[in-house]
Structure 1
């Protein structure tokens, strides 16, 4: 899998950690090793512009996902076809505020949001209660197994 991590903020980001998380999630979801993903970290102003342009909502948000080839999770014997999964855009400053409220680090919040964004790219949603339950349980399991494997 090719994961490109770009940081357009002054917030220090360990790109290798986010690429490793993406690899973990995409492998667990049986996404083709030839799939491509981009993770972009931006400041509040550009995030607010994206939020208003694409969702018609004011102000910056934490994460937005922009799917490309509409890949869906594969299975153990049948991974997804190769393609471009899409882009995830995160705002570290919004994530830091949310992390304070949640009682964990900003990095942990951004890892959670990255997992959340990847699941959106794979077609998961949380508009309905049953969708929310499924997506959030999967998100939790994927993040916890990643953190356990890296010894955090």
Structure 2
């Protein structure tokens, strides 16, 4: 499994936690060890530039996903063999604001954003209410299972 996590932000980030979480999601979504992913943490200014460049929206956002090989989830009997899933960019400062508003820890918000980003890279979306229900339900289940697994 090739999961690269880089911190280019001014906020301290526990990089290994994000590798572990991505590995957990890869296993649950039946992606092989040959699938590649890059996760980067950036400050608000570079995130705002990406947000403007790719979505033509002002201001920094929490997470952006950039798919590469358009991989989709595998199954237990037919896992995704190989490929580059893509890149996820997370802004810790925006995540901190959202965590405060939601009443949970910043690390939990950033892990949620990582799971959210991976699901986008796997083709999930939340533009329509039914799609949102599916994606957010899966996102919640994966995050809660991951958090429970690290406590045992």
Shift of 1:38: 0.3
Are 2:24 and 1:20 aligned?
no
C-alpha separation in 1, matches of 2:149 and 2:87: 25
Q: Say whether 1:117 aligns with 2:111.
A: no
Query: Structure 1: which 5+ residue stretches go unaligned?
Result: none
Paired position in structure 2 for 1:103:
103
Q: Indicate the residue corresponding to 1:75 in structure 2.
A: 75
Query: Deviations along 1:82-141, whole A, 9 cap, x unmatched?
Result: 010000000000000000000001111000000000000000000000000000000000
TM-score under structure 1 normalisation? 0.98
Equivalents in 1 of 2:48, 2:9: separation in Å?
A: 14
User: d(CA) in 2 for partners of 1:71 and 1:32?
Assistant: 11
Give the structure-2-normalised TM-score: 0.98
Equivalent position of 2:39 in the other structure:
39
Separation in 2 of the partners of 1:2 and 1:99?
A: 28
Over the residues paired in the alignment, what is the CA RMSD in angstroms?
0.8
Aligned twin of 1:11? 11
Distance across 1 between alignment mates of 2:81 and 2:72: 9
| Separation in 2, partners of 1:33, 1:25 | 12
CA distance in 2, matches of 1:63, 1:124: 15
1:35-63: CA deviation from partner (whole Å, max 9, x where unpaired): 00000000000000000000000000000
- The aligned residue for residue 86 of structure 1 is 86
Residue segments in structure 2 that go unaligned for 5+ positions in a row: none
- How many residues in Structure 1 have an aligned counterpart in Structure 2? 152
Instruction: Tell me the CA shift for residue 81 of structure 1.
Output: 2.6
